[in-house]
A and B are shown apart, each in its own frame.
Chain A
């Protein structure tokens, strides 16, 4: 009985993580400018990876593997937003402006 609960919870988490990563990939392709793409890649990457790791932890049970997965998720939790911050910061400093609503989508990136 408990196996069924753990397995279905783990399947739900892994499925949700996969969906988040798929949404992130779609956003990376479809969103119009650099910062919105950054948002799609960064936010969904962190959440998707964390959900996948959580699902794997449920599969592994109480073992050394779970401890390693916890460490991986801890490091992803810190490093992924930091790398997003660093790239966005560098783009902002170099003068790339966020797309504003008033401009045409196709021309807004060319005059920066």
Chain B
């Protein structure tokens, strides 16, 4: 890893900011530009950058495959449960107005949970797709650079 000293230092410095920006895009998405999909991609990009610089094996220790297997359906379940919960409360499917006492609060919490579900699923799927391809070829040893 000595060979990639510059990349390692810069990646270490940037990854927290990428994660923070992902969270900002996720949770500011109902007020400004952003949303679940974009936030999920940004969040996954931080983990992919980590895997590119520090190696796939190291990245698998940070986010194990088992965690991804749980996270991919978890977001979808959050989305579906929010949708069916509106149906359960005698509204329509994904009807946010009936979730809480006032329609405004219901809209707010509804879009929040649905976007969170989208974000979790997109991030986990992006990392999974990267893993599926990254494991195919042998990693280059440091002496070979």
Contacts and interface: CB of A to CB of B under 8 A. Distances in A.
A81 to B, nearest CB: 9
B17 A78 contact: no
Q: Chain B, interface size: which category? A: under 10
A82 B10 contact: yes
Contacts of B7: 82, 85-86
Contact of B17 (A75, A82, A85, A93): A75
A82 B6 contact: yes
B45 to A, nearest CB: 12
Specify the main secondary structure of chain A where it touches its partner: helix
B6 A85 contact: yes
Interface in B73-87: none
Q: Chain A, interface size: which category? A: under 10
Interface in B42-91: none
B6 A75 contact: no
Interface string B128-145: 000000000000000001
Contacts of B6: 82, 85-86
Contact of B14 (A79, A86, A93): A79
Nearest to A86: B7
Interface in B1-60: 6-7, 10, 13-14, 17
Contacts of A82: 6-7, 10
Contacts of A85: 6-7
Contact of B145 (A75, A78, A79, A93): A93
Interface of A: 75, 78-79, 82, 85-86, 93
Q: Which 10 pairs across A and B sit closest by C-beta, in order of nearness?
A: A82-B10, A93-B145, A85-B6, A78-B10, A86-B7, A82-B6, A82-B7, A79-B14, A79-B10, A78-B13
Given A75-B14, A79-B14, A82-B6, 7 more contacts: A75-B17, A78-B10, A79-B10, A82-B7, A85-B6, A85-B7, A93-B145
